[in-house]
Amino acid sequence: MLKKFISYYKPYKKLFFLDLLAAITVSACDLIYPMLSRAAVNNYIPNKNYRAIVTLGVTLLGIYFIKLVCNFFMNYWGHVVGVRMQGDMRRDVYAKLQNFPIKYFDNTATGSIMSRIVNDLQEVSELAHHGPEDLFISIIMILGSFFLLLNINIPLTLIVFSVIPFIVWFTLNRRQKMTDAFSETREKIGAINSTLQNSISGIRVSKAFVNKEEELQKFKKSNIEFKKAREGAYKVMAEYVSGMTFFTDMLDYLVLVFGAIFTYQGKINFGDFLAYLLYIRIFSQPIKRLVGFVEQYQNGMSGFKRFKEMLDEDIEKDSSNATNLENVKGEISFENIYFSHDEKNILKNFSLNIKAGEKLALVGPSGGGKTTICNLIPRFYDINSGDIKIDSKSIYDFKIDSLRQSIGIVQQDPFLFTGTIRENLVIGKPEATDEEIIDAARKANIHDFIETLPNGYDTEVGERGVKLSGGQKQRIAIGRIFLKNPPILILDEATSALDNITEQLIQESLDELSKNRTTIVVAHRLSTIKNADTIVVLKDDGIVEKGNHEELINNKGFYYNLHLGILQ
């Protein structure tokens, strides 16, 4: 995992190494100050060397200006490296997200996905910038202080630095606890995001059912779990920080007590004692940096672990010899299909042939597999066994993108993206001209309405198209398909949620859309499928009837009874 994390530095290695160089320079400047102070106390001041004192002042001023430049570089360009790496990670995971199978989204809450892409990567960005920098500065300061102090007095230096092994042991001992605690916190943040996203998306339903108390309880539960996890993480962190603070205090204690003894015994002079005090003050800074680094590392790497889990997810893949689906006639064959979802068998030994250019309707009670059949054709789900063919060739021999490019889908509740009407129309054909967009809107019976809007095609539709009615959203969805112009069309309950007048208007658009295409219609309202070439009646045990409307009525079977129920 660490290797993968380091790989994101590669495009910015020049900036990264310059940032480390700036960190080294700042560390070196800090290490020089105690030595200059020692020289001033031991030599320049007792000998009244005015020139040396002035040189010392100029030198220190120059050092502080160098630190100023280096600190600016570290705080600006160092953060830039972290932000750019974060952007690259977000780009990679979002690109991967586009290729996840539908099953992943069925099983993973939207809020959890958002938490991984936004919150987790923010922590990773901070680690990417501050982590190496703090670690590098700490190592230089600790080693630099150690060797410089050895030159002053070896016994006193060894006494002072005897605390270091305890610091290392304590850090290693607490590391796993902190990893577990911060990982749990990440999961709880994802749960809160999921609850929020779900609650906000369904706010109209919640208000309609006066359901706010139940929603508050759901959020309260997630919030309490998060607080407990966070409190647990901070408890572990507090144990670590307080322990490390104690060890740094011990450094001050050892220097003060043993330094005073060594000065009293004449083994070091006042300048050396001052240098020790200053170095230990400096030495405590990298210790504190290491404390911060450990917390940051746990935060960042637990976030990166969740990020990498997404990168390691299986994606939709083309077969090795997959080709593009071209010159589609539109014949579709289901051959002995077995399909199960969430351990439930939905289709068993299912076979069906749809002729090119035919309009086929699927009817029957819920749970019979109508929508499942529609989802299997564009490979939203893969079958367990059997085969699905288009123009006598398996859909698994086609590249997934080219397969889906040949299929248009209009669903019961069309999804509109936040943006303008124009942006939502051209999803099926981003390069469409204004003339093509208007022509598609006319065919979908939505152009006249759009013309009445102040901003026309550039009108914002709101989140999920909230500013439009159900019928208007549906017609925009139909306009998309006119622009896409696919040879195969799937209408999944496309008019069931509409009033009769709107349904009639949209049905005209759908009839126009269905011309010269292989069309599969799923509908509960039998009035919308009377003109279908073939009607297939599905129940839990498969196909129970098949024929056109008149044939099925004359058979006086399940469809006939269904039809009578609708008419009553």
Question: How is 1-55 classified by DSSP, letter by letter?
Answer: -HHHHHHTTGGGHHHHHHHHHHHHHHHHHHHHHHHHHHHIIIIITTTT-HHHHHH
CA dihedral 198, 201, 203, 209 (to 10 degrees): -70
What was the pLDDT predicted at 568?
Answer: 33
Give the domains, in start order, of the chain with CATH numbers.
88-311 (1.20.1560.10), 332-567 (3.40.50.300)
Is the overall model pTM greater than 0.75, yes or no?
no
Round the average pLDDT of the chain to a whole number and report it.
81
Average pLDDT over residues 300-318: 83
Percentage of the chain with pLDDT > 70? 88
d(Cα 151, Cα 359) in Å, to the nearest integer? 92
Asked if 528 and 495 count as a contact pair (C-beta separation under 8 A), the reply is yes
Q: What is the pLDDT of residues 174-231, one digit of tens each?
A: 766 766 776 667 667 666 666 666 666 666 555 555 566 766 776 677 777 777 777 7
pLDDT higher than 80, residue 25: yes
Q: Are β-strands 518-522 and 359-363 bridged in parallel, bridged antiparallel, or unpaired?
A: parallel
